[in-house]
Structure 1
Amino acid sequence: MKIILVAGARPNFMKVAPIIRAIKTRQNNTAIEYRLVHTGQHYDANMSESFFDDLGIPAPDYHLNAGGGSHSEQTAKIMVAFEKVCLDEAPDVVLVVGDVNSTLACSIVAKKLLIKVAHVEAGLRSFDLTMPEEINRMVTDAITDYFFTTEKHGNENLLREGKSDGSIHYVGHVMIDNLLFQHAKVLNTEATSFSNHDLKKSLGNYLFLTLHRPSNVDNEARLLDIVEALNQVAEETPILFPVHPRTRKMLDSFGIRMSERIVQLDPLGYQEALYLWKDALCVFTDSGGLQEETTGLGVPCFTIRDNTERPVTVEEGTNTLIGTTGSNILAAYGGLKKGHVKTGSMPELWDGKAAQRIVDILIDDVIS
């Protein structure tokens, strides 16, 4: 069996890495091989050789260099380049992860070439069609053959959309596989080797922030409201903030200034970020992945969004959906000061073995 694994951005590689490690454990007694494709959807200067070493995987077999342009231009470039890879490699399965444009583009190409599609993180829904990711999720799942879900809500969404029960597999979450793998490495690394060790040590208690979603940062009034609230929070408790390039651009464009107690950092590598947020009093974020990862390590998380496609993190985990207003941010922080903190629990099957389950299911179905 030959599998093509598709990744378009750094977080995708974090999800694919456990699957590659699981494949390698089966290669001694199973006829299985893989090719790793980087579509180049997002350019990332931090994706050096050491990045792949940290993940425990080799560099990609193919780099499509298909980044840049509008959503449509990017999707088209990926499709054209990926079709050539599929024709050359003739895989049995194309496995895509998440909800980026690469997920959608490569699924369409594979399906039209009569290649089976496996979607990791299938069935997640925010029910917000203004989110490009929601369109990518829905279209990908419309043509997927193997649905690998991270939470039971995903199963329910897919069944409601008419997918067959036999094609839906609740396997846990590869992002948690990666988190547990990386967390062990961070704990075994000398703390002084992290670039922000001295900063972290000097701050004592601190909060951790990520903010990049277009609905939050592209709207001047909303971004100003959020920043003014965070500035107030920072007067009491400093905030570490690795600034996304998009957010940096909009802050500068709107002339919005942050408190000096919001320590603005350059974008961080995975282990550097984990080293910081794992010990934060809480995380403020509008990311999808951090909602899950904070639940994985039991760190309180306040999500600056009106909806989430990851409801299990709210129902069982440490995540609280607080909306996008400054007043809600201040209320969440006020509750934190009073000790109103969700402890949460680890969702079922978030045990670091999701990738093994995925590979076993594909082997049993394709080879058997």
Structure 2
Amino acid sequence: MTSREWLTTPIGIDAGTWVTRVGCRTVLAVAHTIASCHRLLDVVDYVEEDFRVQVVFTVAPDVFNQQVTGHLERLGALVLPWEQAVRERFDLGIAASWGGLHQLHTPLLVTAHGAGRSKTVRPGPNGGPPLASPAVYGLDAQRLTHGGRVLPTALALSHDHELEVLRRQCPEALEVATVVGDPCFDRLVASLPHRPDYRRGMGVEDHQDLVLVSSTWGPDGLFGHVPDLLPLLMAQLPPDRYRVAALLHPAVWDAHGHRQVRAWLRSCREAGLLLPDPTQDWRALVVAADRVIGDHGSVTAYAAAVGRPILLLPALRATPAAGTPQHLVIAEATHLDPGQALLPQLAAARELDREAVRAALTGHPEQAGRLLRRAIYQLLGLTEPGRHRRATPVSAPRLSGQEVRP
């Protein structure tokens, strides 16, 4: 049975017997984590309405993949077990991370799952001398090649700067690289006019400032390095004038468990902290925010690119790669001192040069949908159907500062 015979069917033996639509091209969306799943959903949106295409999902091996299957099933996606996905053939695979991709039988389109590729590769567990120029993760030969061949059929880059990094680190992958811009940023921009709706949906009054705290995962992130920050904010900011929301990287929730994270923040939530589930679209909170307290994660860079004043935890061990928006934000933003009063520091937080951050973030602003869609249809061997619609705003978040269940 070919993939085109079983697609659009239930999973199992003789599934092809129950096909309703036949002859479709099969696109396999490979989700590794909730973070990469957010990016995948943006990308498959360019093709899944086409009657000639069936999109199916699978969850690849990853230490942080515990919540992905449930999230996809709640969205109504057809999810194939990984064990089945590696046995079948597909017309195209789309991924935003790397684990297990060499096991798949499909041409591969690989995108970033954050604000470009900013992370540098740290030494292995056995240590070793520091590298003069650490490799940029996702543009290195270790990720891009397998068994002596380039793994992706198409590598989607956000910026011409990434081409230069690729030329240094893995020149054999240049022929599959294409600069398409940043689809996540384009949807963020499309969402800006809906700021009043997002704020109203969160219960933020017109006279209130929404302070968004964004933390990446790991001990260098805000939540790991300054664990008392959220309680301090709830205690020091006048509740009639300020609301506080926390965006914790999905890997924080997966590493510690949803129940534990909510328990740690129970008192803050009782005091009105807005704590969205990691499956919620974080971009609505960035649009709604008046100020952002962040770290070296991607959310801080996106917030700076749309003009949100930034108060930044200084970089600790890992400095983002030069030329990336994260590196620019760290160099230019006002730095947070958790030991000092927070209200004056928030007042001193300032907007960065949003055009400079945008220029480092995307080489084709508001064009990623058109360019990615073209690449997808070329890989599928199909003509593009008509004119692509513009980037759509994200949905309003569903959350409540008064919901306090552990």
TM-score by length of 1: 0.66
Deviation of 1:208 after TM superposition, in Å, equals 0.6
Aligned ranges for residues 322-341 of structure 1 at < 5 Å? 327=337, 337-338=347-348, 340-341=350-351
**1:119 counterpart residue number:** 110
Pair 1:337–1:149, CA change in 2 (3 A): same
Alpha-carbon distance between aligned partners in 1 of 2:262 and 2:377, rounded to the nearest angstrom: 49
Q: Could you say if the C-alpha distance between residues 48 and 8 of structure 1 is closer, same or farther in structure 2, counting changes exceeding 3 Å?
A: closer
Aligned residue number for residue 87 of structure 2? 87
Partner residue in 2 for 1:281: 290
Deviations 1:222-241 (A, max 9, x none): 43575687578647965322
Q: Equivalents in 1 of 2:206, 2:198: separation in Å?
A: 17
Offset from partner CA, 1:4-35 (integer Å, 9 cap, x none): 2212333333322332232246x47xx65543
Give 1:262 shift. Answer: 7.7
Q: State the SS of the aligned residue for 1:263.
A: coil
Candidates 211, 220, 239, aligned match of 2:215: 211
Question: In the alignment, is the contact (CA less than 8 A) between 2:58 and 2:79 conserved in 1?
Answer: yes
1:1-368 aligned within 5 A = 2-24=26-48, 27=50, 33-39=54-60, 41-43=65-67, 47=71, 52=75, 59-64=76-81, 81-82=82-83, 84-88=84-88, 90-97=89-96, 103-110=97-104, 113=105, 115-121=106-112, 124-129=117-122, 138=140, 139-142=142-145, 143-164=151-172, 165-180=174-189, 186=194, 192=200, 194=201, 196-197=202-203, 200-201=204-205, 204-216=208-220, 222-224=225-227, 234=237, 239-242=244-247, 245=253, 246=256, 249=260, 263=273, 265-267=275-277, 270-271=280-281, 273-286=282-295, 288-304=297-313, 305-306=315-316, 307-308=319-320, 311-314=323-326, 319-320=329-330, 327=337, 337-338=347-348, 340-345=350-355, 346-347=358-359, 348-364=362-378, 367=381
Change in Cα spacing, 1:39 to 1:357, as seen in structure 2 (3 Å) is: same
Q: Which amino acid aligns with 1:241?
A: A
* Structure ID, larger Rg: 2
Q: C-alpha separation between the residues in 1 aligned to 2:269 and 2:40?
A: 37
- Residue 191 to residue 292, structure 1, CA distance change in 2 (3 Å): closer
Aligned-pair identity in percent equals 9
Instruction: Note the C-alpha offset of 1:36.
Output: 2.8
> Could you tell me how far 1:290 is from its partner in structure 2?
1.1
Q: Is the 8 A contact 1:322 1:329 kept in 2?
A: no
Alpha-carbon distance in structure 1 between the residues aligned to 2:158 and 2:341: 30
Shift of 1:302: 4.2
Q: RCO greater where, 1 or 2, for CA within 8 Å and sep 6 or more?
A: 2
Number of matched residues? 320
For 2:244 and 2:124, the matched residues in 1 are separated by 27
Structure 1: segments with no counterpart, 5+ residues: 53-58, 65-80, 98-102
Contact 2:94 2:110 in 1 (8 A): yes
Following the alignment from structure 2 to structure 1, what is the Cα–Cα distance between the partners of residues 374 and 223?
45
Structure 1 residue 149 displacement after superposition: 0.8
Question: Does structure 1 conserve the Cα–Cα contact (< 8 Å) formed by 2:119 and 2:321?
Answer: yes
CA shift, 1:169, in A, is: 0.9
Distance of 1:311 and 1:333 partners within structure 2: 32
What secondary structure sits across from 2:156 in the alignment?
Answer: strand
- Hey, which of these two has a bigger chunk of helix by percent? 1
> Conserved in 2, the CA contact under 8 Å of 1:2 and 1:91?
yes
Q: In terms of mean alpha carbon deviation, does 260-269 or 351-360 score higher? A: 260-269
Q: Please provide the CA RMSD for this pair.
A: 4.6
Structure 1 contact 291–313 (Cα < 8 Å) conserved = no
Structure 1's 365 and 329: CA in aligned 2 closer, same or farther, altered over 3 A? farther
- Using a 3 Å threshold, how does the CA distance of structure 1 residues 309 and 331 change in structure 2: closer, same or farther? farther
Distance 1:45 1:35 in 2: 12
User: 1 CA distance for matches of 2:79 and 2:322?
Assistant: 31
Aligned-partner SS, 1:201 = coil
User: Cα offset for 1:173?
Assistant: 0.8
Q: TM-score, normalised by structure 2?
A: 0.61
Letter aligned with residue 213 of structure 1: W
CA-to-partner distance for each residue in 1:38-94, whole Å, 9 max, x for gaps? 449131698377x74xxxxxx322153xxxxxxxxxxxxxxxx25x21423x12432
Listed one character per residue, the Cα deviations across residues 102-160 of structure 1 (whole Å, up to 9, x for unaligned) are x32231212xx4x333210287242241799x767744323333211112332222111
For structure 2, list consecutive stretches of 5 or more residues without a partner in the other structure.
1-24, 126-135, 146-150, 383-406
Return the offset for 1:292: 4.2
Structure 2 Cα separation of the partners of residues 35 and 48 of structure 1 = 10
